[in-house]
Amino acid sequence: MNEFALIRRYFQRDCADPAVLLGVGDDCALLKLPADEILLVSTDLLVAGRHFPMDTAPFDIGHKALAVNLSDLAAMGARPLGVTLGLALPKADADWLAGFAEGFHALAAECGVCLVGGDTVASPQLTIAVTVLGAGQAGRILRRDAAKPGDLIAVTGTLGDAGLGLRAVMTPERVPAVLPRDELDFLVARLNRPSPRLAEGQRLSVFAHAAIDISDGLVQDLTHILDASGVGAEIDATRIPLSAAARNWLQADPTLDTLPLTAGDDYELLFTLDPAHWDQVDFPATVIGSIRAEPGLVIRDAAGNPLTLSQGGFDHFAGPTA
Ligand code: ADP
Ligand code: MG
């Protein structure tokens, strides 16, 4: 199969979006940006063996490559306009390409976005670069630098699932025997098929202050908001929302109890808002703390004592050795 047949077979699809004037096939794609809207652009690269295990199912790779990019649009409250795909492939394996394309296009259809272009090359290392284009209204774009003292800090969904899913994939022998099969499958699906919180982000763009998607872990991503906004925060570790599967695993292995603070890849939204607007949050979300004027992040455990960062993450031993 030559390069052009490959592109036609796997990546050229009909696009029903009237704003896509021209999609795959010409030198450039043409997109109509609504009058008075801002264009948002974001790119993420995924390298096989580094960003996903080599033996990840191609469908999941296709899904996740798109999901992590759409999540960046969600984090700013934008709506997707189009997406491009750069693919560096060791070989044109038809089964792999079919699975990858299916995962990619299925999520694209679900999110109402078209693949409008890209580039395909042969290269020893499987590498995937996705660029998303989005639109938002000026003044309604959620930035990291907009948190204010007194804001509530909240997250969508549950945290720690993908981190536990990764543990299950990498070290299956360490999964507690009590964990039911369907809960284990749920955690691995949270790792491999994250849901970009686009609807939530667009809803939040009306009233929230700052937002970010949790790709690197709650503490790391919250710290980005605090640094950009020049504020501090206090969060309550006991309020971090956990799925039933995560709760069961952490109960069976209490040494992992701070994992939901630091594990990445959940792609939930972390956002701050004026407490007066909390009643407008009409989707699953949980308040975990608040923004304060004093810089720094304080995380309290069940006893109200501050947790301290150590080598492997947070622990319960506060002290100057951190
Ligand atoms: P050019 O040589 O003009 O850069 P290409 O030959 O690389 O164009 O690509 C031909 C067409 O196919 C272009 O419209 C390009 O955007 C599209 N395309 C190439 N690879 C992909 C891909 N992986 N996914 C989607 N579209 C692609
Ligand atoms: Mg060209």
Buried residues in 193-210 as b, exposed as e (16+ CB within 10 A): bbbbbbebbbbbbeebbb
- Does the pLDDT at position 310 exceed 90? no
Q: What is the pLDDT of residue 311?
A: 58
Distance CA 198, CA 313 (A): 30
The number of the ligand nearest the C-alpha atom of 26 reads 1
* pLDDT (mean) for 184-211: 98
For the chain, what percent of residues have pLDDT higher than 70? Answer: 96
Q: What is the pLDDT of residue 96?
A: 95
Give the mutation target among 10, 11, 15, 24 for probing the ligand 1 site: most ligand atoms within 8 A of CB: 24
Q: Which residues line ligand 1 (CB under 6 A)?
A: 7, 11, 24-27, 85, 87, 115, 117-120
Q: What is the pLDDT of residue 322?
A: 37
Q: What is the pLDDT of residue 315?
A: 67
Write the CA distances from 247 to 4, 22, 236, 257, 321, integer angstroms. 49, 48, 16, 9, 29
Tell whether the torsion through CA atoms of 66, 195, 216 and 230 is positive or negative.
positive
100-148 confidence digits (pLDDT tens): 999 999 999 999 999 999 999 999 999 999 999 999 999 999 999 999 9
46-80 confidence digits (pLDDT tens): 999 888 888 899 999 999 999 999 999 999 999 99
The number of the ligand nearest the C-alpha atom of 29 reads 1
- Does the pLDDT at position 300 exceed 70? yes
DSSP state of 33: P
CA–CA–CA angle 205, 217, 152 (5° rounding): 45
- Does the pLDDT at position 6 exceed 50? yes
* pLDDT (mean) for 17-30: 95
Find the helix or strand (DSSP H, E) in which 113 lies: none
- Does the pLDDT at position 45 exceed 50? yes
19, 114 Cβ separation under 8 angstroms: no
240, 247 Cβ separation under 8 angstroms: no
| Residue of minimum CA distance from atom 16 in ligand 1 | 117
Residue 50's SS3 state is coil
Give the mutation target among 46, 83, 89, 120 for probing the ligand 1 site: most ligand atoms within 8 A of CB: 120
Question: Can you give the pTM of this predicted structure?
Answer: 0.94
Q: What is the pLDDT of residue 12?
A: 95
